[in-house]
Amino acid sequence: MADIPEEIINEYRLRKIVNAKGFVFVEVTKGMYGLPQAGLLANELLEKRLNKNGYFQSKIVAGLWSHKTRPIQFTL
């Protein structure tokens, strides 16, 4: 916790959850803006949700989505 500012330690009550070695572990459940991986994570989530509803992404044209049974296409 030596690298964490005191105001963050106090605001999130980190002293209650710090382990014996001085580490605090967190689980990230949503994307964090500013991370280099944010775009990839958002695209994977979008693809998962669209695939579930019958859409698939073109293998030739990035960002082009089509529906399996309906005559629908769109780009993002």
User: What string of pLDDT tens digits covers the 76 residues of the chain?
Assistant: 677 888 888 998 999 999 998 888 877 776 667 778 888 888 889 999 999 999 999 999 988 999 999 888 988 8
Residues contacting 58, CB < 8 A, separation 6+: 64, 65, 66
CB 16 within 8 A of CB 6: no
**How many Å apart are CA 16 and CA 37, to the nearest integer?**
30
The confidence score (pLDDT) of residue 31 equals 63
Q: What count of Cα atoms within 13 Å lies in the side-chain half-sphere of residue 73?
A: 7
